[in-house]
Each structure stands twice: as structure tokens, then as C-alpha cells.
Amino acid sequence: MYPKYTITTPRFDNPSDYLGPSNRYFGATVGRVANRIARGKFHLNDTDYSLAINNGPNALHGGLEGFDRRLWDVQVVDEESGVPGITCTLRSEDGDQVVNVLVCSCLSVCILDIV
């Protein structure tokens, strides 16, 4: 059995509150890119890419609908392992946010020591 714990990170009680317009990037895993892409364009491996513009003339944190605007699938880490945690997964299809690449993201968070 795990010791009692208290959530000390700012959070919302209702998951839909994270999707509100005034909560942009609050606790976010932001998206296909993190940071600002100047003029929403970049060149990689002989290919030019143009991204959705959402920050003046630039693309910021994955475009108009970054990963911070999506609901991720969440699974509790196997409690029998003795390490409490969660694993979050998200699939961003080919063509999402104007980028023609399939992206499968996985984020695992484990509590290794409770002080």
C-alpha cells in the first residue's frame, strides 16, 4: 500500500478546464514542437515544412491545437511493480497541424521517493 500523499502542484479539478482559452500551456506537454518556429517554417532532410501560424508571424508550441489542447489516454502504472505512477499516450495523425508525419507520444511519470 502506498503512503498518503497530497497534490502540491497547481491543478484543475475538472479536466475540461485545462482546455479553456485562458489556461494556455498550464501544466502543458505542448506539442510536436516546443518553442517558437520563426515564420512557421523550417527545413529538414531536404524537405521544407510550413506550420500553422499562431504567435504573430511564428508557430508556437505545436500550432493552433498543440498537445496541450488534447485529452491524452492515461493508464495507471502496474501497482504490483512497487513504483506508483501513470503513463500518458497520444497519437497525432499524419497531416495534423500541417505536418505530414505520424507522431506517437508517450509520457511516463513515476514517484520514486516520497519525502
Indicate if the pLDDT at residue 103 is higher than 80: yes
pLDDT at 61: 78
Domain limits of the chain? 15-110
pLDDT of residue 41: 92
- pLDDT at residue 3 above 60? no
Tens digit of each residue's pLDDT (9 = 90 or more) over 22-73:
666 676 677 777 788 999 998 989 988 888 888 899 988 777 887 877 888 9
* Residue range 65-89: mean pLDDT, rounded: 81
For the record, the C-alpha cell of 101 comes out as 508525419
Is residue 74 within 8 A of residue 68, CB to CB? The reply is no
Query: DSSP letter at 2?
Result: P
User: How much is the pLDDT for 39?
Assistant: 94
SS3 sequence of 37-58? EHHHEEEECCEEEECCCCECCE
